[in-house]
A and B are shown apart, each in its own frame.
Chain A
């Protein structure tokens, strides 16, 4: 996993609330048996018409979305299914962070494990972000803050261990494997 310390990029804005993982990646794309390239299927049913042509009015299809690494979305992003394919698809498309006022639990956990930073901000910062699609902003994981183009600095919380992993590009499995002795002890006590 590539380490993340600072993300500076324009934003893509999807203001809808409760964007569920079925929208992020519909179930028919879950038949893959490898991580593969899921970026093309990201938001498939919103992004393409019935003939499979890109809908020009959808945010991801607009030229200014190219190269954007930050998605700003309405409240309760990522609710629904536990499919990690949702985080994979966002990451594969090029996103490295998702900002919302609330991010669903399982999706948040999956994102943290895949180099996709879930950023939860307050209503005011969120409103500014929704009103300024494409704005160039900075997410500073070291300083735990967001810097908006209007000069505002917005702090955000993140679980300490997940931050450590993201900043150093390490995954949790190595840490868990190193607990082998404690796990063995628990197993012999619990039977």
Chain B
């Protein structure tokens, strides 16, 4: 009997099965690359110590610091101590743990440091066909390269440390076919917010999403990463895009990508990963890119999203909706455009790559941040930071009155002290608008870098197309 033609997920999965799954036990799945950061790893290193275990494959493990680290240049350079003491402790602990277990660490002053999901691709470590995990739900980002990449908890971080494997049941598959093409001034962020608004924040639960179709093929790697990054916001642990010429061009020449003959062999192998024409998915959704408008969230989860020109939906009798609007200080039926805002955050693993900063800089160029608005621009990595400085983007941000910082997760989750004031509205290019995510009482409005920059300049929610001709 012929087996049914496979999906990209099937192909990557099958290559990594160490022990097949049975009714009684999940598969033992091999992990090619384990990314580690300071917040979700200390307790896992303790497990190794407690059991007297070694870390099985330090050569497949890379650590960095991003979640709790300061973005203030003086603290990064060590001229002044890290202000948040508990963060300083995590940073010290990761340094010690990496020394003890032989793990490569891109530490505080390393020029390759950055948000874990931004540096993996930059270094060329994120490659098609790999299995990649990290103790962080936005590990889904790496799926943009045709890797199977997903977030794990700290116990599983310990499993990978000790065995380079995880116990996993094969997830269900969901195809999201994006037809058409995004219009001018419309970004990948708008596309993924529109998709989440459509399928809901639990629409992908239990599934791995494969994004396909002309609307995806036309996207750059940065844009594909933005889309895959937010798969978890639709409940899917992983999002994937089949590798193609765009992927190969991005990877070629990266420090840790294969070279010479090995590169040619790798590309031939990667080309074979594409989903077969008649492969079956457990679920299929089609979404038109042509109709996507600039989007913004109005509520307390990413599925509560409308076009910037839209109004806050009215859901009579829905107590959760009402509670969410009360937290956000918004009324049903209220127009979002022109609503005054107090803060703007341009950063995070969703939207802090160089191309994101370029779009924002286009809006800021020759303009000033509106009075009373605090704007934080936090590059995704030190490498993005250097490039933005060399290309003159940083100067545009600074001249406009924005704060230009060192890389890290920063105000996306506010662990490092970069937070939004209670009650303030913050247009943010990050991925979560949960209550209190950016600080207690903070009101997050998720949008694209273009929309965030436009809001910064006008001090109000703005359709960025006004600034992008």
Contact = CB atoms under 8 A, between A and B. Distances in A.
A84 B154 contact: yes
A107 to B, nearest CB: 8
B358 to A, nearest CB: 29
A55 to B, nearest CB: 14
Contact of B40 (A84, A171, A175): A84
Given A76-B202, A84-B153, A161-B26, 13 more contacts: A22-B435, A30-B68, A30-B415, A33-B43, A33-B89, A81-B151, A83-B153, A84-B154, A105-B237, A109-B152, A160-B25, A161-B24, A172-B167
Contacts of B201: 18, 76, 79
B353 interface: no
A171 B159 CA distance: 10
Contacts of B232: 80, 106
A23 interface: yes
Nearest to B437: A22
Contacts of A118: none
B432 A31 contact: no
B162 A176 contact: yes
Contacts of A183: 18, 28, 30, 56, 163-165
Given A26-B436, A27-B413, A80-B434, A176 B159 contact: yes
Contact of B320 (A18, A34, A182): A18
25 contacts: A20-B434, A22-B434, A27-B413, A30-B67, A33-B43, A33-B89, A33-B90, A75-B202, A82-B137, A82-B152, A83-B153, A84-B135, A102-B205, A104-B205, A105-B205, A109-B156, A110-B153, A161-B167, A171-B155, A173-B162, A179-B163, A182-B19, A182-B28, A183-B164, A183-B165
Given A17-B320, A31-B84, A106 B28 contact: no
Nearest to B19: A182
A113 to B, nearest CB: 4
A95 B74 CA distance: 43
Interface string B46-90: 110001010010000000000110000000000000001011011
A23 B42 CA distance: 22
B23 interface: yes
B391 interface: no
Contact of A159 (B26, B163, B301, B319): B26
Contacts of B42: 33-34
A176 B167 contact: yes
A161 B46 contact: no
B235 interface: yes
B414 interface: yes
B275 interface: no
Contacts of B167: 161, 172, 175-176
B155 A82 contact: no
Interface string B136-174: 110000000000000111111011001111110100000
Contacts of B180: none
A28 B440 CA distance: 10
A186 interface: yes
Contacts of A28: 414-415
CB-based closest 3 A-B pairs: A31-B86, A84-B153, A110-B153
Contacts of A109: 152-153, 156
A113 B153 contact: yes
A74 B320 contact: yes
B283 interface: no
A34 B432 contact: no
B167 to A, nearest CB: 5
Nearest to A36: B43
B179 interface: no
B284 interface: no
B355 interface: no
A51 to B, nearest CB: 12
Interface in B184-206: 201-202, 205-206
Nearest to B39: A30
B98 to A, nearest CB: 14
A110 B437 CA distance: 21
B434 A179 contact: no
A141 B346 CA distance: 47
